[in-house]
Amino acid sequence: MDSYKTFDYDVLVIGAGGAGLRASIEASGCGASVGLVCKSLLGKAHTVMAEGGIAAALSNVDGRDDWRTHFADTMRGGQYVNNYRMAELHAQEAPDRVRELEAWGAVFDRTKDQKILQRNFGGHKYPRLAHVGDRTGLEMIRTLQDHGIHQGIDVHMECTIIRLLKDGDRIAGAFGYDRERGKFRLFNARAVVLATGGYGRAYKITSNSWEYTGDGHSLAYDAGADLIDMEYLQFHPTGMVWPPSVRGILVTEGVRGEGGVLRNSEGERFMFQDIPDLYKNQTADNPEEGWIYTQGDKEARRPPELLTRDHVARCIVREVKEGRGSPHGGVFLDISWIKEKIENAPEHIRRKLPSMYHQFKELANLDITEEPMEVGPTTHYAMGGIRVDGDTQMSSVPGLFAAGECAGGMHGANRLGGNSLSDLLVFGKRAGEYAASFAKENDGATVNETAVADTIKWALEPIERQEAAGSASESPYQIQYDLQDTMQELVGIVRNQAEMDEAVEKIAALKQRADQAVAPGNREYNPGWHTALDLHNLLTVSEAVAKTAAQRKESRGAHFREDYPEKSEDWGGNSLVVRKGGDGEMEITREPVMEVPAELQEIIEENR
Amino acid sequence: MSTATFKIWRGDAKGGEFRDYETEITDGMVVLDAIHQIQAESANDLAVRWNCKAGKCGSCSAEVNGMPKLMCMTRMDTIDVDKPVTVEPIKAFPTTKDLVTDVSWNFEVKKKIKKFKPRPPDAEDGTWRVAQEDVDRVQEFRKCIECFLCQDVCHVLRDHQKTEEFIGPRFLVYAAALDMHPLDTEDRLEDLKDKHGIGFCNITKCCTHVCPEHITITDNAIIPLKERVADRFYDPVMRILRALFGKKKAAKPPAAEAGAHESTKVE
Ligand SMILES: Cc1cc2nc3c(=O)[nH]c(=O)nc-3n(C[C@H](O)[C@H](O)[C@H](O)COP(=O)(O)OP(=O)(O)OC[C@H]3O[C@@H](n4cnc5c(N)ncnc54)[C@H](O)[C@@H]3O)c2cc1C
Ligand code: SF4
Ligand code: SF4
Ligand code: FES
């Protein structure tokens, strides 16, 4: 059998984005020995791309804000199917987590009275997003990274985990390979924290990087953990649409927060025409009110461009479908118009949105201070994920924890912008803390040797198949493209039964093809091989998304069905839970949404 | 649409060669797209490091026609495709495979720089008050995406391999970011002189020219640090003053410090 190196830790953290780094820092601060594994180099995880900001009710800009309002906003955004306990803890603890980041060296933009500045974002009642220009994620990940490297955490960069290992019911460790040499590594651990992010790469048009193949979701599922809310996948309304090679790259919501407006080909601000009842009270009904809101007028209501992402994305799809789209199949997003309102607008835009200015200039040859951008929806964020306990972040497998985007429940049916970065900090910390105490309270476990041997055999198959394959070989890249087309076309923003049933069938066929994928070359830094292994995760996650979406016969948040365009009370009371059945097949069950306690319900009602 | 020929370096630490690949070029494509297309079409195992494909993570550094670039931000329509386009890994560090370089040295170097040490909180709630101007001053340095292109072109590392003695422009920027951080109180000047080798930099500005984040590395980060080191260790007036008043860290922010410096001269 292939040899492998073995490492022993109290806590193994898989993923080095905001959640994984925060968890590692906490676990090591609690005295645990910590190993941190990530697929890329340190500091390159997805979190680095976040732009707009971190949501926390610091109430620096608007004194009326507090955790209660943040909690109510999060629940409204999530259409009241959130794990209320997570939404509560998140709203309460986010301000401390942001201040702590400052104590570790993060530099945020400031208010006139020298406090941390906060900006407006969709679905947040008050200006709430702490930020640094439009590169907040970079500031956050770098701060955590630079703080973390002095904590004695053992980092394994460019190492991919392909299997979680158990001892009976509980977690015992994980198994993976290093990209550089293609050699295997065994990690024995008393507790494991998954912080692997999302799965946008299951779609063709996405703002997500290659890392987003749903590894954590799929690892947890295979280990017997529950997944929840998998039908809820966020399509961000504004991704680049032109040129084709940059399609999907994100255009931050910050553009709209700073006064940017959406127009169709007829020059119309179409968002004014469709304001959902849930948001009527809080939304401006004329352009002037919307503008002064973005400029900090506390009496004004927010412009309809800042409605929740699911809604804005659907309005854009409608405009395009009805023939009022931009030349390349999007709509126009214009920030340059603010020159009518303020002096030095170009300079102001460059200062407030430097990365966006740069991104359009370099990739699309377009000056956003002069011309409107063309934008359209892009697959962005997974609300669904590993089901966890709100307080501890432990999954249904003892000793297995999850935090960040790969965990489910916190955001319900739709996430508000800025609520992810804060989620990473709040629950990254909690996961680290509780994983460390789990490790302290429980003895070491023993990994199952047979499972290790099986994993090695499985992992090497794509490479070994090349000798046997000859002309009938299947390229892993082609299978991935076909999956992306299937998900994009059939389980996208607007869904219906027939298409989703077709997707489920297609995914089953793709699974068979994936079993025949061939990776030419050797084991050293071989992306073809890595893609072949990632397929298992992408297919597992896609199956869960397609099957749960096909089951939920209503429209709610990010899950929109043209055959059931309304919300249903019956469905609103239930979550869909996915787990691996005894026969290895996917099981989906309907379980009641957690009941919100009276005192929290009161907060929700007050903020209706 | 047109076809372009790429000469891509294929090999590993032991050696390698350029190999030719042809691929179709479409509107708006960047070099990384072309590399991915080649990878999918005819070189499944071609190793390339990337992540965000939006110029934000600094993973995809390589030398395109000899120029250090982020592949994801280099548009094909800025390159003459009548001639073959060469793509090779950055050279200051050992090659892992094909376009991937072993940059682990950089992560080790960072650990040696003294970490952030804030002054005590200003306000009762445990937070600080900071002016936007002070934030603006360090913003530039904090934009760094750690692509290490500046390290790649610095002759001290690339040609002279002074990796033991010199931390390179990226980490001088890092040191400057900490030094000019509105809350930081740590003193790194002695380390900069003795351990981090700031003296090796002879201000060629090659690093500044390649920085994709347009950080004015030499003028805004390195030269001010050099001046402070010089003031501390080589300026006789400062040396006497220090002997008299003790080895205190100069007042912050640097603007204020420059003022203080001038007034001592007047005295
Ligand atoms: C362009 C963009 C802009 C955004 N802007 C904002 C914003 O302004 N505000 C906001 O709140 N949110 C924003 N988001 C969302 C937010 O950035 C992400 O949800 C969040 O960063 C996810 O963090 P994470 O820690 O869960 O995972 P990531 O940061 O994605 O980290 C995942 C880690 O897991 C590792 N990993 C994955 N699989 C494996 C495996 N098998 N083995 C080992 N390691 C593995 C990866 O290498 C990586 O280190 C944005 C997202 C995008 C794409
Ligand atoms: S200016 Fe200094 S650090 Fe930059 S490349 Fe030249 S010698 Fe190296
Ligand atoms: S300073 Fe510029 S060139 Fe150097 S690593 Fe940072 S971003 Fe790259
Ligand atoms: S891939 Fe992130 S900078 Fe190029």
Structure confidence by residue, pLDDT tens digits, B150-185? 999 999 999 999 999 999 999 999 999 999 999 999
**Judgement on whether residues A375 and A239 belong to the same structural domain of the protein:** yes
Structure confidence by residue, pLDDT tens digits, B95-117? 999 999 999 999 999 999 999 99
Q: What is the pLDDT of residue B266?
A: 31
How far is CA A362 from each of CA A208, A356, B54, B74, rounded to the nearest angstrom? 19, 10, 10, 8
Peptide bond connecting A398 to the previous residue in cis, omega within 30 degrees of 0: no
Spatial separation of the C-alpha atoms in residues A333 and B212, rounded to whole Å: 26
Query: What ligand 4 atom has the least distance to the C-alpha of B55?
Result: 3
Classify B17 as helix, strand or coil: strand
Residue identifier of the C-alpha nearest atom 35 of ligand 1:
A15
- The β-bridge relationship of strands A154-156 and A34-37 is parallel
CA distance A250 to chain B (A): 9
Query: What ligand 3 atom has the least distance to the C-alpha of B210?
Result: 3
Q: Is B70 in the pocket of ligand 4 (CB under 6 A)?
A: yes
The number of distinct structural domains making up chain A is 2
How would residue B245 be classed by pLDDT, with cut points 50, 70 and 90?
low
C-beta separation of A569 from A504 below 8 A: no
Q: How far is the CA of A49 from the centre of ligand 4 (A)?
A: 10
Annotation says A495 is catalytic:
no
Average per-residue pLDDT for chain B: 89
Those residues whose C-beta lies under 8 Å from the C-beta of residue B213, and which sit 6 or more positions away, are B143, B144, B145
Annotation says A256 is catalytic:
yes
State the span(s) of chain B assigned CATH 3.10.20.30.
Answer: 2-101
Nearest to B104 by CA among A1, A554, A41: A41
Q: How far is the CA of B61 from the centre of ligand 4 (A)?
A: 8
Q: What is the pLDDT of residue A279?
A: 87
Angle value at C-alpha A454, between A448 and A459, nearest 5 degrees: 130
Angle value at C-alpha A25, between A23 and A29, nearest 5 degrees: 115
Widest CA span of chain B, in angstroms?
A: 72
Active-site position among A131, A256, A311, A536: A256
Neighbour tally for A152: CB within 10 Å: 9
Structure confidence by residue, pLDDT tens digits, B210-236? 999 999 999 999 999 999 999 998 877
Query: What homologous superfamily does CATH list for B104-265?
Result: Alpha-helical ferredoxin (1.10.1060.10)
Query: Measured in whole angstroms, how far is the alpha carbon of residue B233 from the centre of its chain?
Result: 26
CA dihedral B119, B120, B121, B126 (to 10 degrees): 140
Q: What is the pLDDT of residue B254?
A: 40
Those residues whose C-beta lies under 8 Å from the C-beta of residue A486, and which sit 6 or more positions away, are A503, A506, A507, A510, A542
Q: Residue A503 falls within a domain, yes or no?
A: yes
Q: How far is the CA of A160 from the centre of ligand 1 (A)?
A: 15
Residue B251 reports pLDDT greater than 60: no
Q: Which CATH class is domain B2-101?
A: alpha beta
Four-residue CA torsion sign, A141, A16, A558, A479: positive
Beta-sheet strand order (sheet of A227-228): A407-408, A385-387, A227-228, A574-580, A586-592
Chain B residues closer than 8 Å to A135 by CB: 56, 143
Structure confidence by residue, pLDDT tens digits, A135-151? 999 999 999 999 999 99
CB contact under 8 Å between A44 and B51, yes or no, is yes
- Residue in the structure block whose two tokens are 């399609």: A247
pLDDT along chain A (608 residues), means of 10: 92 98 98 97 96 95 97 96 98 98 97 95 92 94 97 97 97 96 96 97 91 96 98 96 89 92 96 91 94 91 91 94 94 96 94 90 93 95 97 98 98 96 98 98 91 96 79 84 96 95 98 93 92 97 98 96 94 96 96 96 94
Q: What is the pLDDT of residue A469?
A: 58
The amino acid sitting at A22 is R
C-beta separation of A587 from A441 below 8 A: no
CB contact under 8 Å between A114 and B130, yes or no, is yes
Q: What is the pLDDT of residue A536?
A: 97
The pTM for the full model equals 0.94
- The β-bridge relationship of strands A184-194 and A400-402 is parallel
The amino acid sitting at A285 is D
Q: Among residues A349, A379, A409, which one ends one of the domains?
A: A379
- Residue in the structure block whose two tokens are 């794990």: A83
Q: What is the pLDDT of residue B263?
A: 32
**Judgement on whether residues A364 and A478 belong to the same structural domain of the protein:** no
Active-site position among A201, A236, A350, A536: A236
Residue of B nearest to A42 (CA): B107
A285 and B CB contact within 8 Å: no
CB contact under 8 Å between A519 and B45, yes or no, is yes
Q: What is the pLDDT of residue B250?
A: 44
Q: What is the pLDDT of residue B187?
A: 97
Query: Which CATH number characterizes residue A523's domain?
Result: 1.20.58.100
CB contact under 8 Å between B129 and A115, yes or no, is yes
Mutate which of A51, A108, A138 to disrupt the B interface (most B C-beta within 10 Å)? A138
Q: Which of A48, A115, A362 sits opposite B52 (nearest CB)?
A: A48
Q: Among residues A379, A414, A429, which one ends one of the domains?
A: A379
Q: What is the pLDDT of residue A2?
A: 82
Residue B260 reports pLDDT greater than 60: no
Residue B255 reports pLDDT greater than 50: no
Tokens of A69: 């309002």
C-beta separation of B93 from B66 below 8 A: no
Nearest to B76 by CA among B104, B48, B36: B36
ipTM above 0.85, yes or no: yes
Is B102 exposed, middle or buried, given 0-12, 13-18 or 19+ CB atoms closer than 10 A? middle
Listed by number, the residues of chain A in 241-270 with a beta carbon closer than 8 Å to a beta carbon of chain B are 242-246, 249-250
Spatial separation of the C-alpha atoms in residues A330 and A353, rounded to whole Å: 21
How far is CA B68 from each of CA A300, A360, B152, B199, B207, rounded to the nearest angstrom? 49, 21, 8, 24, 10
**Judgement on whether residues A364 and A498 belong to the same structural domain of the protein:** no
Spatial separation of the C-alpha atoms in residues B79 and B31, rounded to whole Å: 9
Domain that holds residue A278: 235-379
CB contact under 8 Å between B104 and A244, yes or no, is no
- Residue in the structure block whose two tokens are 């503008």: A291
Those residues whose C-beta lies under 8 Å from the C-beta of residue A354, and which sit 6 or more positions away, are A133, A134, A135
Q: Counting every residue, how long is chain A?
A: 608
CA dihedral A412, A414, A418, A423 (to 10 degrees): 20
Query: Which CATH number characterizes residue A361's domain?
Result: 3.90.700.10
Q: How far is the CA of B146 from the centre of ligand 3 (A)?
A: 5
Backbone phi, psi, residue A430, to 5°: -60, -45
Q: What is the pLDDT of residue A421?
A: 98
Spatial separation of the C-alpha atoms in residues A101 and A147, rounded to whole Å: 10
**pLDDT (mean) for B5-11:** 97
Q: What is the pLDDT of residue B249?
A: 47
A181 and B CB contact within 8 Å: no
Four-residue CA torsion sign, B121, B112, A147, B154: positive
Spatial separation of the C-alpha atoms in residues A154 and A148, rounded to whole Å: 10
State the span(s) of chain B assigned CATH 1.10.1060.10.
Answer: 104-265
Q: Residue A557 falls within a domain, yes or no?
A: yes
**Judgement on whether residues A268 and A373 belong to the same structural domain of the protein:** yes
Spatial separation of the C-alpha atoms in residues B8 and B17, rounded to whole Å: 8
Tokens of B221: 């980060």
